[in-house]
Amino acid sequence: MSKKRVIRVATRPSLLAKTQTEQTVELLKAKNPDIEFQIKTFSTKGDRVLDRSLTQFGTTGLFVKELEMAMLEGEADIAVHSLKDVPSINPPEFILAAYAPRENSCDVLITRLGESLSELKENFILGTGSPRRRVQIAQIRPDVTFKEIRGNIDTRIQKLKNGEYDAILLAAAGMNRLNIPFESKDTLDLDIMTPAIGQGAIAIECLKDDHETIKIVSSINDHDTEKAVLAERAFMAEIEGGCKFPLAAHAICKNDQITMTALVGDGQKLTQTKRTITVDLESSVKTAINLAQELKEECKKLNINYHLF
């Protein structure tokens, strides 16, 4: 009897990262019953340094680089990422070979006393370090007081319960993957809060020349997710804004068309400009790039230097 091929799967050590990797591996096993998948954890800089806001690092790929190094050094064959953590430009040695079906991409507002966003007291304290979230919440509640928050979902929820915050924002995808319940009323509609680029999507990365592995992992690729996130990431790559820049884009595929909402903001003035487009699938990436160019010009007119925020 021939020995099973083994594919080593790199992931981060957090509960959410391991859980979504395990869920992705189950999808791979169902499509590839003759393959053995072994999960290996590798700590990243973003996991180790928790006393600073992510925007203070001044770089991207904080949750990705060590996993890529593991593949380059022959310690892993593939890596499972939350797509929102993956830089818009891949190193030339790698390819994002597949995208699992996308989870709920919305943000969720969790409050200490169960209030809605409109019901929260004046000058309420909101826990978030995300420029994207700050800009959009400030449009609805300009009286908000922002306070930095780091840590996993459970840690953030406990800090809320302890009274450090009146409210926090979390990704619905992460909560669903960890089976943490929340009320449907707590979900912020997409017209209120445009998600981070790639939010809710899982990407599988591997070496670009490993054609056999690419074929295996592409067996779980979700076409609609792929088309949507390619448009979002094309927009992000063209904008060239860093992690300190309030930037969002979210695309939905339906009937051979993509509807994408994109947003850029001013992290100091807490203002934003937002556009929505609907185009056919074939021209979605090109149109997303054109939209980014238009919004860059608008940023110049509004004196928004997005490279600094």
d(CA 41, CA 166): 34
Catalytic status, residue 166: no
Catalytic residue from among 77, 85, 107, 166: 85
SS3 262: strand
- DSSP letters along 261-272, please? EEEEEETTTTEE
d(CA 108, CA 183): 9
What type of residue is 136? Q
Other C-beta atoms lying within 10 Å of the C-beta of residue 252: 17
**And the tokens for 243?**
């992690």
Placement of tokens 């994207």 in the chain: 132
Q: Are 238 and 215 in contact (CB under 8 A)?
A: no
What DSSP character marks residue 91? Answer: -
SS3 265: strand
**And the tokens for 157?**
């929820």
**And the tokens for 196?**
């981070």
Q: Are 214 and 206 in contact (CB under 8 A)?
A: yes
List residues with catalytic annotation.
85
